[in-house]
Amino acid sequence: MNIHSFSFFLFLKKKNKIMSKIDKREEIIKTAMELIAEQGFHGTPMALLSEKAGVGAGTIYRYFENKDVLIKELYNEIDKKFKAFLMENYPHERPVRECFFYIGKCIIEYFINKPLDFRYTEQFHNSPYGIEFRRNKLINLTGEDYFCRILFEKGREQQVIKTIPLVIFFDLAFAPIIWAVRDHILGFVTLDEDLKMQIVSSCWDSVKM
Amino acid sequence: MNIHSFSFFLFLKKKNKIMSKIDKREEIIKTAMELIAEQGFHGTPMALLSEKAGVGAGTIYRYFENKDVLIKELYNEIDKKFKAFLMENYPHERPVRECFFYIGKCIIEYFINKPLDFRYTEQFHNSPYGIEFRRNKLINLTGEDYFCRILFEKGREQQVIKTIPLVIFFDLAFAPIIWAVRDHILGFVTLDEDLKMQIVSSCWDSVKM
Amino acid sequence: MNIHSFSFFLFLKKKNKIMSKIDKREEIIKTAMELIAEQGFHGTPMALLSEKAGVGAGTIYRYFENKDVLIKELYNEIDKKFKAFLMENYPHERPVRECFFYIGKCIIEYFINKPLDFRYTEQFHNSPYGIEFRRNKLINLTGEDYFCRILFEKGREQQVIKTIPLVIFFDLAFAPIIWAVRDHILGFVTLDEDLKMQIVSSCWDSVKM
Amino acid sequence: MNIHSFSFFLFLKKKNKIMSKIDKREEIIKTAMELIAEQGFHGTPMALLSEKAGVGAGTIYRYFENKDVLIKELYNEIDKKFKAFLMENYPHERPVRECFFYIGKCIIEYFINKPLDFRYTEQFHNSPYGIEFRRNKLINLTGEDYFCRILFEKGREQQVIKTIPLVIFFDLAFAPIIWAVRDHILGFVTLDEDLKMQIVSSCWDSVKM
DNA sequence: GATGAATGAGCGTTCATTCAT
DNA sequence: CATGAATGAACGCTCATTCAT
């Protein structure tokens, strides 16, 4: 088994339609994420998506009601995966500061290794979908957001975090991290281990009491 | 001159086409910004723009080569206005910390009062245009960015700012402010004077040595 | 055997696919008629039909070559049933007038009780299929049409029916009845026994010598 | 000026875009009516229509909001023209019987000379549009329908018309005429002057007291 | 210079039909 | 035989751009 035989397998996969049902859905999701991350929602016509994913145009609509639903579903997939990653080793019982650093490192680690997920997420957040989504999120915090709120409230109670609104806490804590990840992905800076730590640490400086 | 005669003037302006060349360009820019800020690039067809601006569809193309150019030009207009605002009373001779606070307050003040400019800017930054633009900016710092670099370098030299890359300095210093303004505009939080100060101050905490 | 066990049978029929070959064909025909009568040919995708009929999409094509054939077949089914109804007690030996009244009453009775059949028929007649069909019918009169021709010729011979072409006889005799049934089904009028008689009688007035 | 130079003119008309605004709308209406009359609503894609009409695909949408609107507008055009024809010499002051004959003759005359209008009308009436339309018409009678109602009421009052609902009067009076026109247009019969008179006369027989 | 009617490529989506299972 | 996932041509419609007036 070498690179050539693997290519030949891919050839079969595309041409001989040996993709299973799950394969198809996965292929669509993967291709859509790549295309949208790189070209944006409007730079990714369904026809291009179907072509690159190696499926018929109508096939996409078996898995996703329409383009909007596909876009939201894609975001949910990323969100779910990230939350799972975050919660896997979350140090629930450790001090607020340690939890804060854990979250910051997770965000950086996860998205630096999944640049497509990151760029997709950025596009999503900055779009009509994103605003609607954000509104719902603030009303009904779940997953990592729920952790963050707990963290925030615990920090407030213990007087280790400043007296600020939750929303502002999010902004101070995570905005620089997100921007730094973006700059890393776009090649404007390289985040080594020291720098990562420095960034998270600086964010902590901005919220700690 | 009363409200009625002014309305009549507007009527003439739209219906009798007595707009001068400069008027036309201004009208197009103003209308485009409003529409795009509210509906997005793709929710703003050129036909709608020309209608709302009170000019012919073809006329837009006399002032802007195509839609892309118009979009970039619009951004430059905002950028120019913001820079002018920022530089107007910039305390060049004062300490780094004071300059930093001045910039932070300026960003908040300016964009809270110009939510359309803010929303336009956000849309722009998060689009193919934005990335291209950002790349150019980092290579060739101008205006407020130039100030910021000077500030950063001065801060480094005086050992009042952490030893971090310039890009990361930007992220730590301004990302939370931008996000907070966004949350204010979207109604997720209300930035009063105390809170504004607290945010800028927290950003300073994150970059100061 | 009670209502519950019958429901259970239906459940089996749909879910466990114990429908026989004839059951399947019947189910497709019945469902297709309902759907098309209510939604029209173009409001009835094959996928919807297969779903509502409880069969696979491909299965329909084992019984009907394609959608066109299905549509024509459906019409033939209705036509056959109506002819059977008409011929069941047809008073062959009675006077022309009596036969005429019998046919008129039959049309009203049959279609008022089978509004789906009526609406299907109307849709069919008014479509490319309908014209083609009508052409064939006039060349080769069969069933009720054959009766009608016999009736017409007998009426002519006995000088109880006007000297008009057969086609015009059909128009005078049946058009008002069909239209009246349509108005009844659409709820624009209610045909009680008196009114039914009055309509048929009026049609007779228009063809009688 | 001969056939060739005329063809050349048509060539210019199509290729050099010398059609005026009104020409374009007319061309679209004319072409749409031809195509739909012959192929049906669903046999007439907008692309085919635009091609045959010699206009761009988008141009149709400058004149008609969408296909549905186009279809209804087309019907209204026919309806308007027919009403004008009918009302032109309508013998308002003459006896009911004479008015009845006038209307019958008008229907036959008009639609025999405009077979496309007739076939279009038939398609329209037998479609979701038609039913909606008919419902409105019965509620709010206008134009020829209004005349007919007046005629009906006058006839009732003078006891020259049977005691039947208005709707049934319409059915008896006009259904055979419409069907006969259809048969003429489809070539199943030829309506000469005698036959036309005989049909209208027979319809009168069916409604007269 | 200004206009806006006209354009047509391109979009998201549907659905009759096929064919591997 | 029956299935239903997959297909892709075709649909109605949009909109950035052009160009005759």
User: pLDDT at position A143, please?
Assistant: 60
Helix (H, G, I), strand (E, B) or coil at B70: helix
CA separation for the pair A119, A61 (Å, rounded): 24
User: pLDDT at position B22, please?
Assistant: 76
Q: What is the pLDDT of residues C85-137, one digit of tens each?
A: 999 999 999 999 999 999 999 999 999 999 999 999 998 988 888 877 877 77
Is residue B135 within 8 angstroms of chain A, CB to CB?
yes
CA separation for the pair A157, A150 (Å, rounded): 10
Instruction: Among 3.40.190.10, 1.10.10.10, 1.10.287.130, 1.10.10.60, name the CATH number for the domain at A1-63.
Output: 1.10.10.60
| Residue whose pair of structure tokens reads 């509502």 in the numeric block | C52
Contact list in C for residue D134 (CB cut-off 8 A) is: 186, 188
Q: Could you tell me if residue C146 is left (phi over 0), alpha (psi between -120 and 50 degrees) or otherwise beta? A: alpha
Mean pLDDT of D55-79: 95
Is residue C198 within 8 angstroms of chain D, CB to CB?
yes
Superfamily of domain C1-64: Homeodomain-like (1.10.10.60)
Is residue A176 within 8 angstroms of chain B, CB to CB?
yes
Q: What is the pLDDT of residues B9-39, one digit of tens each?
A: 444 444 444 677 778 899 999 999 999 999 9
User: pLDDT at position D118, please?
Assistant: 95
CA separation for the pair C177, C200 (Å, rounded): 7
For helices C166-185 and C115-125, the axis angle rounded to 10 degrees is 130
Q: What's the whole-number average pLDDT of chain D?
A: 88
CA separation for the pair A162, A208 (Å, rounded): 6
Strand F: which residues 12-31 of A lie within 7 A (CB)? 17, 19, 21, 24
Is residue C168 within 8 angstroms of chain D, CB to CB?
yes
User: pLDDT at position D15, please?
Assistant: 41
CATH topology of domain C67-209: Tetracycline Repressor; domain 2 (1.10.357)
Q: What is the pLDDT of residues D172-191, one digit of tens each?
A: 999 999 999 999 999 999 99
Q: What's the whole-number average pLDDT of chain B?
A: 88
For chain D, give the percent of residues with pLDDT over 90.
73
So where are chain A's domains? 1-63, 68-209
Q: Which residues on adjacent β-strands are paired with residue A208? A: A161
Is residue A200 within 8 angstroms of chain B, CB to CB?
no
CA of B16 vs chain A CAs: smallest distance (Å): 37
Q: pLDDT grade, residue C4 (50/70/90)?
A: low
End-to-end CA distance of chain B: 59
CA separation for the pair B152, B158 (Å, rounded): 10
Contact list in D for residue C162 (CB cut-off 8 A) is: 198, 202
- Chain B segment 20-79 residues within 8 A of A by beta carbon are 40-42
Is the Cβ pair B167, A183 closer than 8 Å?
yes
CA separation for the pair A177, A199 (Å, rounded): 7
Contacts of D13 (CB under 8 A, 6+ apart): D19, D54
B59 CA → E2 C1’, Å? 6
Class in CATH terms, A68-209? mainly alpha
Mean pLDDT of C37-52: 94
Under-50 pLDDT residues of chain A: 1, 3, 6-17
Would you mind telling me the total number of residues written for chain A in this entry? 209
To the question of pTM greater than 0.75 for the whole model, the response is yes
CA separation for the pair C203, B180 (Å, rounded): 81
- Interface mutation vs chain D, best among C132, C138, C172, C197, most D CBs within 10 Å: C172
Q: Could you tell me if residue D141 is left (phi over 0), alpha (psi between -120 and 50 degrees) or otherwise beta? A: beta
| Residue whose pair of structure tokens reads 């036969």 in the numeric block | C99
Burial class (CB in 10 A: 0-12, 13-18, 19+), B91: exposed
CA separation for the pair A84, A107 (Å, rounded): 12
Contacts of B17 (CB under 8 A, 6+ apart): B54
pLDDT reading at D28 higher than 90: yes
User: pLDDT at position A10, please?
Assistant: 45
